[in-house]
Structure 1
Amino acid sequence: MESEAFDAVDLGLLHALQVDGRAPFSRIARVLSVSDRTVARRFARLAATGAVRVTGVTDSGRIGGAEWVVRLRVRPHRADELAHALAARPDTAWVTVLSSGAEIVCVFRTAAAESAPLSALARHSDILGVDAQRMVRHLTRRRWSGRTSALDDDQVAALRPAQPVASAPVALGDLDRRMLPRLAADGRIGYPNLAGALGWSESAVRRRLDELRRARVLGFDVEVDAALLGYSFQCVLWLTVAPHHLATVGAALIESPEIAFAGAITGPHNIIAVAVCRDADAVFDYVVDRVGALPGVTRLDTAAVTRYAKRAAPALIPR
């Protein structure tokens, strides 16, 4: 699919789904001033080509879990195979191969009292080194602007779902443990199909999904290849920041339109971020002129992303 295939309706649809991944097509159609059929047809086309995917994303912290950022130094000729295997694991949430081909970065989700499976990884003959750091806090609370710039404030307000409510961490039940993986694979699966697959009533499934959303356990994200939107260069940034500057640097990063994700982690690099830019020149300008100039940044390492094997949802493993 070529980037020019994304017209104003497509971009509006992407933005709408990022506001509410389960918004009915009829509501999106009203906001975009097009027909229901047009919205449904556009989404079906984008989904069929693999250009767009709506995924259900679970907040580990809200269910008493933890996230670990794991850097694997690997044999370059085995990187793709290893990334594929990591993406197939149910405990990984993000897997990417970096430009050297000798490094894979992934995020493991575990119970709070557990760590990433370092021993098993270190024993693998093609993994030459392992480093794991705990994700302390997600800094990014907004969506990457490259896919959320098509709608105005009134349109966003018309789409925004009910606001979440503060609550204690949520204990998951059997229905949740069966439902969440299916929503991760297809965030827009219809209630009748979801209920049928789970063996629960549609009303129970609908009610529990709404409860999980309002408790901030479940959110929805839109996976889209940034290159199709004209952004051809993505890279991971590892920052070492003086502790008393962490809040300031974090705030500056999350306000940058280039940043798709930023998080505070343990270890010598205490911030990880993902930057999405139009080309290599734009990355250079952003890193040198803006990030490198932030007070408190004492070290900045970058690595271009070669490919994503997994973002947040289960990988689409070829059969």
Structure 2
Amino acid sequence: MHLSELDERIVRALAEDARRSYADIGAEVGLSAPAVKRRVDRLREQGAITGFTVRIAPAALGWRIEGLIELYCRSKTSPEDIRRGLSRYPEVVSASTVTGEADAVAQVLAADMHHFETVLERIAGEPFVERTKSVLVLSPLLRRFSADAAPGERGPEGR
């Protein structure tokens, strides 16, 4: 699936603030509100837009510790096995298979160090996990919530 430049601009506007009105987005991208709505509906039907959500500051929910856990899995562990295993932990907010020595990396939010340690031990005890390596986040430097590399840049497929 390839998005036009206009669709990319609409998606970027929604990623920044999904509560923006179609009229407001239309004024920014040069379309009428109904034209923006039609494009958003089409993008949803095509699966380019998979949903709308709210971003909450983790600290507001009591999550004060963030860590990344590298998972080194036993041989013949599938990505689906990893996804299924990690999906049981509400503290795991994202997980990805990766290149390099580790098989996957999980982003974990916890209330405090003891909570993080407990989650780490439980994940390390999963039958598919051979070993783990973790790091704690000190200060988030940059967070992007859309697939865009940066405003005005196109991804590799769009070049």
Q: Normalization by structure 1: what TM-score?
A: 0.42
CA offsets 1:174-204 (integer angstroms, 9 cap, x no match): 3212212222222211111111111112211
**2:55 corresponds to:** 223
Q: Is 2:100 the counterpart of 1:258?
A: no
Q: Is 2:61 the counterpart of 1:244?
A: no
Identity of aligned residues (%): 27
Could you tell me how far apart the structure 1 residues matched to 2:128 and 2:3 are? Answer: 41
CA offsets 1:19-60 (integer angstroms, 9 cap, x no match): xxxxxxxxxxxxxxxxxxxxxxxxxxxxxxxxxxxxxxxxxx
Could you tell me how far apart the structure 2 residues matched to 1:186 and 1:224 are? Answer: 13
**1:291 corresponds to:** 123
**1:29 corresponds to:** none
Pairwise CA distance, 1:171: 2.3
Q: Where does 1:1-319 land on structure 2 (aligned, <5 Å)? A: 170-218=1-49, 219-246=51-78, 247-288=80-121, 290-308=122-140, 309-313=142-146
CA offsets 1:82-123 (integer angstroms, 9 cap, x no match): xxxxxxxxxxxxxxxxxxxxxxxxxxxxxxxxxxxxxxxxxx
Please list every run of 5 or more consecutive structure 2 residues that lacks an aligned counterpart in the other structure. Answer: 149-159
Q: Report if aligned partners of 1:241, 1:298 keep a CA contact under 8 Å in 2.
A: yes
Q: Report if aligned partners of 1:254, 1:262 keep a CA contact under 8 Å in 2.
A: no
Q: Report if aligned partners of 1:249, 1:294 keep a CA contact under 8 Å in 2.
A: no
Please list every run of 5 or more consecutive structure 1 residues that lacks an aligned counterpart in the other structure. Answer: 1-169, 315-319
Pairwise CA distance, 1:249: 3.2
Pairwise CA distance, 1:283: 0.9
Q: Report if aligned partners of 1:235, 1:276 keep a CA contact under 8 Å in 2.
A: yes
What's the secondary structure of 2:139's corresponding residue?
A: strand
**1:145 corresponds to:** none
Q: 1:197 to 1:311 in 2, by over 3 A?
A: closer
Could you tell me how far apart the structure 2 residues matched to 1:306 and 1:280 are? Answer: 13
What's the secondary structure of 2:34's corresponding residue?
A: helix
CA offsets 1:123-160 (integer angstroms, 9 cap, x no match): xxxxxxxxxxxxxxxxxxxxxxxxxxxxxxxxxxxxxx
RMSD: 1.8
Q: Report if aligned partners of 1:241, 1:297 keep a CA contact under 8 Å in 2.
A: yes
What's the secondary structure of 1:306's corresponding residue?
A: coil
